[in-house]
Amino acid sequence: MAVTALTPGPRAHGRRGGRVLAPAVASCLAAAISLAACGSSGGDGSPTGAGASSAATAKTVHVGVLQLASATVIDQTVAAFEQELKTKLAPRPVSFDVKNAQGDQSLISSISRGFAQSDSDGVAVIGTPAVVALAQQTEAKPIFALAMGDPVGAKVAESLDRPGKNVTGSVDYVDPAVLLQSIMKIAPAPKRIGTIYDPSNQNMQVWIKALRAAVAKYPGVSVVESTISGAQDVPSAARSLTGRVDAELIGPDATVLSALPVVGSAAAGGKLPVYVVGGDATVTGILASIGPDYPTLGRLAADAAAKVLTGTPAAEVPFGQPSGVGFTVQKATMTKLGITLPADLLSAATVQ
């Protein structure tokens, strides 16, 4: 997904190769003058030196991947994470065990328990509820959060620069005030901004609070909230906004983003412009995507994961943070709605 940066911001172990048997003790004594020819071993009989290095290089790194739900932007973030991690750890092979909770809280819990008890070397997680669920299951296994909103607020990290716990990765939080700077320039400017979110998602609690504060700075503008408890509620929540708002802003809620076509369809029927934070701007009915480049966040999380998997404690590896936000607009929706973008915004945007 092409994104143009506009404004600075605030994704069973492989067996060791066959061991070469040490020569007989008598042979080693006879050749004591040339110890290298005999080879050496650690106290547990494992090879050391060049042999150990070769064995370590050949050992497969096993990484679990827990997705909260399915959506284009989520899939792109995970794919970028996987590819970057393979590159960072090469020539060591890396395998991924991907499991999707499909926005189901019971599945999030069961998958989290499974990964916590597995022999994986670490688990990559996208979706704040899933990160929190896994962190509650294990304090030892490293967890790599992909594009998490607020790790500190979710209490899985002490700070972004020094997490202090077993969770690191990347963050995607962009203050809604930054998003409104673009949205309120677009004619006609909205007076009632609708949004859909899952209030049990700690990331969205933070984001919604910030959205309310940002909207309050625009006289006469209000927020209309429609809440959900799972992906099954998105269709009714989307329909409920029709006639009650003149624009929609969908935050970084993975569950809602997984049902973005439903949101776009309902909005198109009500002739409402929809702005999504980092979502797919090509979905029918969506006007624009505003936010960080999510594949880049996947690669930033892979950078953090690579450090951990090569020996640095997760507690000491900073979260990767977005360097800015971009604006991608869908021309077909813009034309249908008669939306006008100011020249400065249009010139900097990516038009699909």
Does residue 44 lie in a domain region?
A: no
Where is average pLDDT lowest: 26-35, 66-75, 165-174, 214-223? 26-35
| Residues 161, 206 within the same domain | no
| Residues 337, 219 within the same domain | yes
| Residues 86, 207 within the same domain | no
Q: Residue holding tokens 């949205």? A: 183
> Mean of the per-residue pLDDT values for the chain?
85
| Residues 69, 218 within the same domain | no
Tell me the pLDDT tens digit for each residue of 199-254.
Answer: 998 889 999 999 999 999 999 999 999 999 988 999 999 999 999 999 999 998 88
Q: Residue holding tokens 């929540």? A: 237
| Residues 67, 205 within the same domain | no
The reported pLDDT for the residue numbered 104 is: 86
**Around Cβ 176, how many Cβ atoms within 10 Å?**
25
| Residues 199, 162 within the same domain | no
Where does the pLDDT of residue 285 fall: very low under 50, low under 70, confident under 90, or very high at 90 and above? very high
CATH number, position 83: 3.40.50.2300
Does residue 221 lie in a domain region?
A: yes
| Residues 180, 151 within the same domain | no
Does residue 133 lie in a domain region?
A: yes
| Residues 138, 196 within the same domain | no
The reported pLDDT for the residue numbered 57 is: 54
Does residue 308 lie in a domain region?
A: yes
The reported pLDDT for the residue numbered 278 is: 80
Does residue 37 lie in a domain region?
A: no
| Residues 214, 258 within the same domain | yes
| Residues 101, 181 within the same domain | no
Q: What pTM was computed for the model?
A: 0.73
CA dihedral in degrees (280, 282, 286, 290; nearest 10)? Answer: 50
Q: Residue 9: phi, psi to the nearest 5? A: -80, 170
Does residue 233 lie in a domain region?
A: yes
Does residue 281 lie in a domain region?
A: yes
Taking the alpha carbons at both ends of the chain, their separation in whole angstroms is 10
Q: What is the mean pLDDT of residues 19-46?
A: 38
Could you tell me where the beta strands, DSSP code E, fall in the chain? Answer: 5-7, 61-67, 94-100, 122-126, 143-148, 167-171, 192-197, 222-227, 247-250, 274-277, 288-291, 325-329, 350-351
| Residues 117, 201 within the same domain | no
User: How many separate domains does the chain show?
Assistant: 2
Does residue 199 lie in a domain region?
A: yes
| Residues 284, 298 within the same domain | no
d(CA 351, CA 18): 56
Structural domain containing residue 190: 176-291+326-351
Q: DSSP string of 133-199?
A: HHHHH-SSS-EEEEEES-TTTTTS-S-SSS--SSEEEEE----HHHHHHHHTTSBSPPSEEEEEE-T
Q: Residue 223: phi, psi to the nearest 5? A: -110, 135
